A = this chain, B = another copy of it.
Amino acid sequence: MLTHTEENYLKVIYHLSQTEDEGISTNAIAQKIDTKASSVTDMIKKLKEKKLITHERYQGVFITTLGLQTAKMIIRKHRLWEVFLVNKLNFNWDEVHDVAEELEHIKSEKLINALDAFLGFPKEDPHGDPIPNSKGEIPYREKELLTETKINHKYMCVGVKDTSAAFLQYLDRQKIALGSTFTVLKHENFDHSVTILFQENELTLSKVVAHNLFVKKI
């Protein structure tokens, strides 16, 4: 049985492992958790003791198969609760993160599977992130960053890389939501901004924005 804190560390290690082949550094974890490296070292010992990660002094952390499976179950819970909040309780997509962060630690397999069924076995959360099924399998969905697109092709917005309230609220103001479609008109070489034709209007999105929007060719 894991504590909330252990679950939070494991989730961070899982996410860092997604884009890192080497061991995850103590500092990288500390930065994500917003704590001190010494605290991370302490927690690493506990997670290692529970066989969720492997670790050699000064060599970084690797997540084990057990750790991977456990992390995916926490992420499953987080994302299902987010769907619940948005689809059933009418939360906006920028309001769900902190509450889901709490709800993800509720321990009941029956609860989460019943919730999954109640929601109609959704494949993605409100930010377009895939929801692991009860076996931990993560549905694959084609997606690329808006920065990588080809001009004169039509795309649909399918996800966000940055899930901060600030970014989501910016998208709301631009009327961009998951499912929105548009044509890419131009990639500006100078500042890497992207101009799209969206709802009959030309809209220029900065590099920062384009680099955090996942799209799919349609």
Give me the interface of A with B, judged by CB distance under 8 Å: 85, 88-91, 95, 98-99, 102-103, 106-108, 110-111, 114-115, 118
Contact = CB atoms under 8 A, between A and B. Distances in A.
A89 B106 contact: no
B88 A118 contact: yes
A102 B91 contact: no
A91 B114 contact: yes
Which of A85, A88, A89 gathers the greatest number of chain B CB atoms within 10 Å? A89
B90 A114 contact: yes
A106 B91 CA distance: 16
Given A89-B118, A118-B89, A102 B110 contact: no
17 contacts: A85-B111, A89-B111, A89-B114, A89-B115, A89-B118, A90-B114, A91-B114, A95-B110, A98-B108, A99-B106, A99-B108, A99-B111, A102-B106, A102-B107, A102-B108, A103-B103, A103-B106
A14 B99 CA distance: 26
Contacts of A108: 98-99, 102
A89 B99 CA distance: 20
Contacts of A114: 85, 89-91
Contacts of A85: 111, 114
Contacts of A98: 108
Contacts of A110: 91, 95
Contacts of A90: 114
Nearest to A107: B102
Contacts of A118: 88-89
A74 to B, nearest CB: 15
A114 B88 CA distance: 9
A118 to B, nearest CB: 6
A118 B99 CA distance: 17
A103 B85 CA distance: 14
A110 B99 CA distance: 10
Contacts of A111: 85, 89, 99
